[in-house]
Structure 1
Amino acid sequence: MRFTYVESMTDPSYYLPLAKAAEEAGYTSFAVADSLVYPRESDAVYPYTPDGDRTFLEDKDFIETFTLIAALGAVTSRIRFTPFVLKLAVRPPVLVAKQASSIACLTGGRLGLGVGVSPWPEDFTVMGVPWERRGRRMDEAIEVIRGLTAGGYFEYHGEFFELPAVKMSPVPPEPIPILIGGHSEAALRRAARLGDGWMHGGGDPEELDRLLDRLAELRREEGTADRPFEVHVISMDAYTPDGVRRLEDKGVTDAIVGFRLPYVRGRDTEPLETKVENLERFAETVIAKTAP
């Protein structure tokens, strides 16, 4: 089992020391949240809270995802970074390919590109992207990113994106893993068909087994069951050695852990020292006791 530390919506000055502390403590990855804007009015709901309330996001600080990862990569040497998740469907995929390739090259391949559609129609509006057919747009964006970051000339002729033969330099020596986030049937099938892994967003613990079973079924249907595949989940089982073994038995490869409930209104008042103590305590009581 590998472990990803997640902390978001906190004081931006905390991120660099937290990344260094997580690396030193033995975490494999550091998750970085993505957010663009917060609308004054919206009918949208948050898919991972019981009542769909999204007001906890108001006035929370979000550093732009690739900017933050570049800064974190500069002060670390081993830990990997996983956007959790980048709102790919509203972004130009050529630009994302350049950003992801640059990050992967600068960090020695320490990027797992977690991507999702975005549940907020307002993200599409402010970015000038249609809400309609967002899933198919996402599929094409993944294909464009994978093609451009592979090296050599690449051209693409799709419904949404049209590229003549072009290439980027530099590109990372190894492919960037693309991890698909989301709980919908479409997201699970996209992960099974196009992804190198799947990222669970939390929510009802009883739903996790159903999602894992359906994902495995879809991978069999898509003929990808034998392909290397990462499964990142949020689960209370990750907080004990016995629970970690249960997750491993279910095919989970990466446990995402945090030590503060993020779905609350207002600023995060937890001191940096407490955050470091929490992540170090978990490393001592769980990571160290489940290492191979």
Structure 2
Amino acid sequence: MRFTYAEAMTNPDYYLPLAQAAEKVGFHSMTVPDSICYPEESDSVYPYNADGSREFLEDKAFPEAFILTSAMGAVTSTLRFTPFVLKLPVRPPVLVAKQAATIAHMTNNRLGLGVGVSPWREDFEVMGVPFAKRGKRMDEAIDIVRGLTRGDYFEFHGEFYDVPSIKINPVPTEPIPILIGGHSDAALRRAAVRGDGWMHAGGDPDELDRLLGVLQKYREEAGTADRPFEIHVISLDGYTPDGIRRLEDKGVTDVVVGFRNSYAEGPDLEPLEAKIANLEGYAESVIART
């Protein structure tokens, strides 16, 4: 099992020392939150909390995901960084490929590119991207990012994007894993067909087994079940050695843990020292015992 530390919506000055602390105590990776903006008015529903409200996001700091990743990568040497998740279809995929390839190169292959479809219609509107057919747009964007980050000449001619034969430089020495986030049927199928892994967003513990079963079915149908595949899961089982073993039995490769309720409204008042103590305590009670 590999261990990922999740922190979001906290004091931006905390991220670099927290990345260093997570690396020091044995975490394999750290998530990187992504948010474009907070609209003053919205009818959108957030799919991963109980009531669909979005108010917990207001006045929370979200440093730009790639810039934050670059900063944390510069002060660490082994920790991997995983956007959780980058809202890919609202962004130009050629630019995303350039950004991701540069970060992966500069950090010696320490980027796992978690991507998803934004739940906010407003993200599409402010970026000038149609909300309709966002899933198909996402599929094309994944193919473009994967193709360009390999470093050879690549061209793409689809419904939404038309990319002439180009290549980018620098690129990493290893392929960038593309991890698909989301619980919808479309997201699970996308992960099975196009992804190098799947990122679970938490929620009802009883739902996890069903999601893993559907994902496995789609991988078998797509003929990808024998390929290396990462499964990142948020679960209460991630907080005990016995729970870690249960997750391993389910095929989970990466457990994602955090130490506060990110959905709480209001500012994060937990001091940096307490956050580092949480990391150290978890490493001692779980990582060292698995």
Provide the TM-score with structure 1 as the length reference.
0.99
Alignment of 1:207-222 (within 5 A): 207-222=207-222
Distance in 1 (CA, whole Å) between partners of 2:223 and 2:177 is 18
Distance in 2 (CA, whole Å) between partners of 1:59 and 1:155 is 41
5+ residue gaps, structure 1: none
Deviations 1:54-95 (A, max 9, x none): 100000000000000000000000000000000001000000
Amino acid aligned to 1:254? D
Give 2:159's aligned residue: 159
Give 1:29's aligned residue: 29
Give 1:51's aligned residue: 51
Distance in 1 (CA, whole Å) between partners of 2:255 and 2:115 is 17
Distance in 2 (CA, whole Å) between partners of 1:104 and 1:237 is 31
Give 1:199's aligned residue: 199
5+ residue gaps, structure 2: none
Distance in 2 (CA, whole Å) between partners of 1:54 and 1:233 is 23
1:106 aligns with 2:138: no
Give 1:245's aligned residue: 245
Distance in 2 (CA, whole Å) between partners of 1:260 and 1:30 is 15
SS of residue matched to 1:225: coil
Distance in 2 (CA, whole Å) between partners of 1:85 and 1:95 is 17
Question: How much has 1:53 moved relative to structure 2?
Answer: 1.1
Distance in 1 (CA, whole Å) between partners of 2:282 and 2:150 is 37
Distance in 2 (CA, whole Å) between partners of 1:14 and 1:151 is 34
Provide the TM-score with structure 2 as the length reference.
0.99
Alignment of 1:1-292 (within 5 A): 1-290=1-290
Amino acid aligned to 2:273? E
Question: How much has 1:180 moved relative to structure 2?
Answer: 0.1
Deviations 1:157-193 (A, max 9, x none): 1001101111101111110000000000000000000
Amino acid aligned to 1:18? L
Question: How much has 1:18 moved relative to structure 2?
Answer: 0.2
Question: How much has 1:45 moved relative to structure 2?
Answer: 1.0
Distance in 1 (CA, whole Å) between partners of 2:179 and 2:55 is 27
SS of residue matched to 2:164: strand
RMSD (Å), alpha carbons: 0.5
SS of residue matched to 2:5: strand
Deviations 1:105-160 (A, max 9, x none): 00000000000010000000000000000000000000000110111111111001
Distance in 2 (CA, whole Å) between partners of 1:235 and 1:71 is 28
Kindly tell me the number of residue pairs found equivalent between the two proteins.
290
Moved over 2 A (4+): none
Question: How much has 1:43 moved relative to structure 2?
Answer: 1.0
